């Protein structure tokens, strides 16, 4: 039966995805794209009749995916984005205004009359096509994130500046290479032991003609007085505006604060996660991945993402636009 | 409708259920007032309500009653915008008012559910004075089989901290009462600080029992997280820039305001803690950073 074939095919793809997640080693951008593509496939091929069913299926698969690799938060973020997309498309099909029913707020508490429990049980024929189209838009956005961030480089990097970075971030690499096309500046890379990914970063940057110096992590504070800006990537942006970044980033941030050097974080929006530090301690991190640091929001000057530059205190607002509060816990 | 009866109703509400938040009791009394009100126009209703809220504030000058009253007025305005005819409007208001009351009586539970995951096994918690929300949070954490110890300040002039310690002892939570002056001394031992709030102001700061500001400054100096737990109906439209900016009517008890000759000689019972000292706020609307509070207020009032 064609239906059964589709389902087994879907099941196989999900298992293959989970196996790849467990192996790890992929960049977060790639993980985000493949997660979104898989969710689009689930929407297209799984059997569901109402938005509520689809959300249940996606939530279930999402829980399995996050359990396979807890340190890769982009998987959970993409699941939450898709859940929010489904809610919005459902609301649009029903004809109600999207903003009004979405967030829990004082305003909603005061004006709602009667039980407004939304159970997403109504069936709408064009819902499937709308959701798939919205996920396609999400995929287009994901493909363009690195370029969108790199485009903003010229506003932030000026000639003859000394920029410091740590480890290897593909986003920061693209950012610096884009600025190097028009400006001449010097980059200092902290090697970031024990994996020393800083060495690869330095090689890659110097291939593009950027003057690069590699320093050991211990020398960060000593060199900081000569640095104009610190630009780093991160693994996750937390809900309070803090970071979960590669080990050594907190040291870098403290040194920058001490010298009043601006700390700029280049992070695409799919790295924004509704977690708050303190809920799950950083000890439940898989040993395959680099060990992480928590950087508090007070040490960060600016977040550069694919939608522009924002202060850490604004992160809560971006979060409420990307995810629905009920999806914070999958 | 007699304003004296309103104040009596409010007082009976507070005494019947000592666990109820003063803002909830205020809103309940105002809803009763609304049911018995005889005005013919919405404007008349608003005027009567404003006078009633004024009387309530004279009876109990806390920030919570003020925020509850303002919230109720806002509720009336929003509902009357949709139904301009008063008789229809009144029924809708009463129905929604009951629903609203039911929802906000659940807020404390929501806050406790959010916050207790932040209390880890073996944690040492410092709290200030007696807060029913903090009590609920600690209760949930204890019910979750977490082991932790609590230090609570005595909190003069009314020794409310001792009441809090009694309540905690009844829940079998190990608790120690410390002097208000011992906050700096004890800060190196504790892992986190959790306090309640009487009011949350627009900047994201809080108004709470005197001594909270000291505790916040100490915890910042020692790099300990300072958490505030408050329900969303405590959000109030004030923006104090320093301690002097907080209006007198909140700083002193209602009786003191009426009888005192020179307010400068009286001791204030609340203080203002600026948002820069607060790590996170736990509310029934979610875990908020101080900057998110003004967003919530704007959504409501503008």
**Lowest mean pLDDT segment, chosen from A116-125, A292-301, B88-97, B182-191:** A116-125
Which of A106, A281, A316 is the closest to B291 by Cβ?
Answer: A316
- Sole residue written with tokens 């004075």: B129
Contacts of B232 in chain A (CB under 8 A): 106, 109
Query: CA–CA distance from B194 to each of A70, A160, A170, B124 (Å)?
Result: 29, 48, 40, 11
Res. B41 pLDDT band, cuts 50 70 90: confident
More confident site: A25 or A187: A187
Q: Report how far residue A232's alpha carbon sits from residue A168's, in angstroms, rounded to the nearest whole number.
A: 9
Beta carbons within 8 Å of A282's beta carbon, 6+ residues apart: A244, A292, A294
Instruction: Assess whether pLDDT exceeds 70 at residue B302.
Output: no
- The pLDDT score that the predictor gives to residue B242 is 92
Query: CA–CA distance from A37 to each of A17, A40, A128, B270 (Å)?
Result: 11, 5, 15, 55
More confident site: B257 or B135: B135
> Measured between CA atoms, how close is B284 to chain A, in angstroms?
9
Which of B71, B78, B279 is the closest to A111 by Cβ?
Answer: B78
Which of B75, B92, B295 is the closest to A110 by Cβ?
Answer: B75
Q: Report how far residue A12's alpha carbon sits from residue A179's, in angstroms, rounded to the nearest whole number.
A: 43
Cβ(A172)–Cβ(A266) below 8 Å = yes
Q: Report how far residue A142's alpha carbon sits from residue A33's, in angstroms, rounded to the nearest whole number.
A: 7
Task: Determine whether the interchain pair B291/A325 forms a contact, defined as Cβ–Cβ distance below 8 Å.
Answer: no
- The pLDDT score that the predictor gives to residue A134 is 93
Cβ(B124)–Cβ(B291) below 8 Å = no
pLDDT for B45-63, tens place per residue? 888 888 888 888 888 778 8
For residue A326, give the chain B residue with the closest CA.
B286
- The pLDDT score that the predictor gives to residue B36 is 84
- The pLDDT score that the predictor gives to residue A284 is 46
Res. A2 pLDDT band, cuts 50 70 90: low
For residue A106, give the chain B residue with the closest CA.
B300
Helix (H, G, I), strand (E, B) or coil at A72: coil
pLDDT for A154-179, tens place per residue? 999 999 999 999 999 999 999 999 99
Span B135-156, mean pLDDT?
A: 93
Instruction: Assess whether pLDDT exceeds 90 at residue B79.
Output: no
For residue A320, give the chain B residue with the closest CA.
B292
- Picking from A99, A100, A108, A111 by the largest number of B CB atoms within 10 A of its own CB, the best residue to mutate is A111
Enter the tokens of residue B166. 């009694």
| Entry pTM | 0.84
- Using the Cβ of A317 and the Cβ atoms of chain B, whether some distance falls under 8 Å is answered with yes
Q: Report how far residue A178's alpha carbon sits from residue A172's, in angstroms, rounded to the nearest whole number.
A: 10
- Picking from B286, B295, B297, B300 by the largest number of A CB atoms within 10 A of its own CB, the best residue to mutate is B286
Task: Determine whether the interchain pair B100/A241 forms a contact, defined as Cβ–Cβ distance below 8 Å.
Answer: no
Which of A104, A113, A276 is the closest to B285 by Cβ?
Answer: A104
Which DSSP category does A283 fall into? Answer: T
- Using the Cβ of B299 and the Cβ atoms of chain A, whether some distance falls under 8 Å is answered with yes
pLDDT for A226-255, tens place per residue? 999 999 999 999 998 999 998 899 999 999
Span A193-209, mean pLDDT?
A: 92
Q: B288-302: string of b/e by CB count within 10 Å (b at 16+)?
A: bbbbbbbbbbeebee
> Measured between CA atoms, how close is B250 to chain A, in angstroms?
23
Going by C-alpha positions, the residue among B127, B280, B296, B293 that lies closest to residue A279 is: B280
Q: Report how far residue A324's alpha carbon sits from residue A140's, in angstroms, rounded to the nearest whole number.
A: 21
For residue A99, give the chain B residue with the closest CA.
B299
Instruction: Assess whether pLDDT exceeds 50 at residue A135.
Output: yes
**Chain A to chain B, count of Cβ pairs less than 8 Å apart?**
68
pLDDT for A56-99, tens place per residue? 999 998 998 888 888 888 999 999 999 999 988 888 887 765 45
Using a pLDDT cut of 90, give the percent of chain A over it. Answer: 52
Span A10-17, mean pLDDT?
A: 86
Q: Report how far residue A300's alpha carbon sits from residue A230's, in angstroms, rounded to the nearest whole number.
A: 10
- Picking from B24, B95, B287, B299 by the largest number of A CB atoms within 10 A of its own CB, the best residue to mutate is B287
Residue A329 has, within 13 A of its CA and on its CB side, a CA count of 7
> Measured between CA atoms, how close is B158 to chain A, in angstroms?
33
- Using the Cβ of B95 and the Cβ atoms of chain A, whether some distance falls under 8 Å is answered with yes
Q: Report how far residue A196's alpha carbon sits from residue A167's, in angstroms, rounded to the nearest whole number.
A: 7
What is the ipTM for the molecules in this complex? 0.76
Query: In what helix (H) or strand (E) does residue A294 lie, and over which residues does it extend?
Result: strand A292-295
More confident site: A192 or B124: B124
Going by C-alpha positions, the residue among B129, B181, B176 that lies closest to residue B155 is: B129
Task: Determine whether the interchain pair B100/A109 forms a contact, defined as Cβ–Cβ distance below 8 Å.
Answer: yes
More confident site: B283 or B2: B283
Instruction: Assess whether pLDDT exceeds 60 at residue A113.
Output: no
């Amino acid at each position: 039966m064609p239906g059964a074939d589709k389902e087994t095919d879907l099941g196989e793809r999900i298992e293959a995805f989970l196996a790849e997640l467990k192996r790890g080693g992929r960049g977060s951008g790639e993980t985000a794209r493949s997660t979104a593509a898989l969710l689009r496939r689930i929407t297209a091929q799984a059997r569901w009749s109402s938005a509520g069913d689809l959300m249940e299926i996606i939530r279930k698969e999402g829980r399995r995916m996050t359990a396979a690799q807890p340190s890769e938060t982009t998987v959970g973020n993409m699941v939450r984005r898709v859940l929010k997309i489904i809610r919005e498309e459902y609301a649009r099909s029903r004809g109600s205004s999207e903003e009004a029913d979405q967030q829990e707020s004082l305003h909603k508490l005061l004006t709602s009359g009667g039980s407004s429990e939304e159970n997403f049980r109504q069936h709408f024929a064009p819902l499937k096509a709308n959701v798939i189209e919205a996920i396609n838009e999400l995929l287009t956005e994901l493909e363009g994130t690195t370029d969108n961030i790199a485009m903003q480089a010229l506003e932030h990097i000026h000639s003859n500046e000394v920029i410091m970075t740590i480890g290897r971030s593909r986003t920061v690499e693209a950012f610096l290479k884009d600025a190097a096309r028009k400006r001449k500046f010097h980059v200092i890379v902290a090697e970031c032991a024990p994996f020393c990914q800083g060495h690869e970063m330095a090689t890659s940057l110097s291939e593009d003609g950027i003057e690069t110096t590699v320093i050991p992590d211990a020398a960060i504070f000593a060199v900081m007085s000569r640095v104009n800006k610190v630009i780093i990537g991160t693994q996750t942006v937390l809900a309070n505006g803090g970071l979960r970044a590669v080990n050594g980033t907190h040291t870098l941030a403290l040194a920058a604060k001490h010298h009043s050097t601006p700390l700029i974080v280049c992070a695409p929006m799919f790295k924004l996660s509704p977690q708050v530090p303190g809920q799950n301690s950083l000890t439940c991190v898989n040993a395959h991945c680099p060990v992480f640091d928590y950087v508090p929001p007070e040490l960060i000057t600016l977040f550069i993402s694919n939608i522009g530059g924002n202060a850490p205190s604004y992160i809560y607002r971006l979060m409420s636009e990307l995810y629905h509060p009920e999806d914070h816990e999958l | 409708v007699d304003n004296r009866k309103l104040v009596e109703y409010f007082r009976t509400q507070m005494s019947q259920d000592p666990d109820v938040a003063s803002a909830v009791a205020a809103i309940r009394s105002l809803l009763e007032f609304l049911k018995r009100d005889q005005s013919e126009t919405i404007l008349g209703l608003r005027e009567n309500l404003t006078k009633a809220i004024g009387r309530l504030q004279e009876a109990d000058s806390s920030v919570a009653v003020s925020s509850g009253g303002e919230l109720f007025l806002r509720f009336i305005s929003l509902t009357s915008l949709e139904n301009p005819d008063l008789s229809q409007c009144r029924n809708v208001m009463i129905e929604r008012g009951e629903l609203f009351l039911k929802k906000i009586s659940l807020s404390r539970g929501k806050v406790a559910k959010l916050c207790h995951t932040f209390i880890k096994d073996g944690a040492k918690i410092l709290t200030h004075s007696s807060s029913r929300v903090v009590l609920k949070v600690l209760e949930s954490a204890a019910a979750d089989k977490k082991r932790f110890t609590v230090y609570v300040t005595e909190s003069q002039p009314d020794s409310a901290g001792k009441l809090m310690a009694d309540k905690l002892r009844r829940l079998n939570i190990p608790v120690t009462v410390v002097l208000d002056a011992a906050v700096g001394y004890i800060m190196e031992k504790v892992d986190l600080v959790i306090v309640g709030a009487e009011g949350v102001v627009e900047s994201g700061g809080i108004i709470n029992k005197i001594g909270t500001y000291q505790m916040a400054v100490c915890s910042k100096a020692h790099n300990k997280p300072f958490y505030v737990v408050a329900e969303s109906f405590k959000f109030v439209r004030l923006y104090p820039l320093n301690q002097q900016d907080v209006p007198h009517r909140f700083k002193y008890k209602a009786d003191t305001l009426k009888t005192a000759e020179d307010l400068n000689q009286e001791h204030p019972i609340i203080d203002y803690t600026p948002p820069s000292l607060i790590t996170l706020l736990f509310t029934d609307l979610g875990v908020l950073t101080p900057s998110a509070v003004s967003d919530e207020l704007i959504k409501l009032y503008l």
